Amino acid sequence: MLEPIIGRYLHLAIEGVKQRVYFEEAGQGIPLLCLHTAGADGRQFRALMNDAAITAHFRVIAFDMPWHGKSSPPEGWEKDDYRLTSESYVAQILAVSAALGLEKPAFMGCSIGGRIALYLALLHPEMFRAIIGLQASAHVDPYYDLEWLNHPNAHGGETCAGVVSGLVGPQAPSAHRWETLWHYMQGGPGVFKGDLYFYKIDGDIRAKLGGIDTAKCPLYLLTGEYDYSCPPEDTLEAARHIAGADVTIMPGLGHFPMSEDPERFREHLLPVLAKIHGAVR
């Protein structure tokens, strides 16, 4: 059996630095640009790309951020620690979207991708026809010592996956749970930690939420009940400051809804996608 997913490599410059970025896509119609969680890669969207109900109307595209998955780190990567900032994150999304020639795509990102969804809604609403933030909050205070994610006395793959294992909803199907954790076990050294610099330090958007204008671009926020990194109350708190934000709390799901339990997730996602699709009919 061949899946309909096709993967290719894209060469482009992001903030003046040459990058080789891997992306996968499936389907036709409205471009839906998907961004994975910290320390993982685009495989988290494998089920969406295999879901005919979605790919009949959407061209689902997921790229591995530079340093992640099958995307390379830039030349000279060995000289510095990787560190994601809100500025570089926005820049790479706009650059990849432009390089692929996407016209007013819909955007969907999870966790750090949910946070950057808020930045895109604030800074570039005119570029997108709709923005979906999964597990999106405005800020997370550190609650464990991030140094352990890249430490010679602990195996990075085991530690990164061990840290996030409880973020998977307790009733997620075993195969999807462990596939999700496998992605974390495969991350490069320091990459998850570098992403969390954005998530927990640089990317605090609390003071700017009021500037998001959902009249310019609809904003949908979907959050799983069992996520303690971005718990439902944090999404609701962010939404309280964004007039017109459309919030869905997803019972039973955790921090990786599209990857940990795609069947349960699609019940919540399909109505949102129907609204986006319906708007262009």
Partner 1 sequence: MLEGIVDLVNTDPWLQRKGRFVNTSLMVELADDAAPERYRLVIAAGQLTTVAREAPGTARFIMPQYELRLIAPRAAWMEYWKPLPRAGFHDLFALRKKRLLEIEGNLQPFMANLFYFKGLLEAPRRLTLTGLLHA
Nearer residue to partner 1 within complex by CB, 126 or 141: 141
CA distance 63 to 96: 8
47 binds partner 1 (CB under 8 A): no
Determine if 73 is a binding residue for partner 1 (CB under 8 A).
Answer: no
Instruction: List 131's β-bridge partners, or say none.
Output: 107, 219
Applying CB under 8 A, does 159 fall inside the site for partner 1? Answer: yes
* 157 binding partner 1? (CB under 8 A): no
Q: Is 174 in the site for partner 1 (CB under 8 A)?
A: no
Q: What angle do CA 192, 241, 195 make, to 5 degrees?
A: 10
Cβ contact 183:212 at 8 Å: no
> Which among 23, 5, 39 has a CA at the least distance from the CA of 182?
39
Choose one: 60-68, 77-85, 226-234, 260-268; the region binding partner 1 (CB under 8 A).
Answer: 226-234
Sole binder of partner 1 in the list 9, 77, 182, 228 (CB under 8 A): 228
| 142 vs 210 by CB, closer to partner 1 | 142
Stretch that binds partner 1, among 99-107, 124-132, 225-233, 256-264 (CB under 8 A): 225-233
16 scored as a contact of partner 1 (CB under 8 A): no
DSSP code per residue over 229-251: SS-HHHHHHHHHTSTT-EEEEET
The sheet carrying 6-14 orders its strands as 6-14, 17-26, 58-63, 30-35, 106-110, 130-134, 219-224, 246-250
Q: At CB < 8 A and 24+ separation, what contacts does 74-77 make?
A: 74/17, 74/18, 74/19, 75/18
User: Which of 90, 95, 123, 154: binder of partner 1 (CB under 8 A)?
Assistant: 154
Query: Segment near partner 1 (CB under 8 A), from 19-27, 117-125, 152-160, 196-204?
Result: 152-160
Q: Where does this chain bind partner 1 (CB under 8 A)?
A: 143-145, 148, 151, 153-155, 158-159, 161-163, 165-167, 170-171, 225-226, 228-229, 231
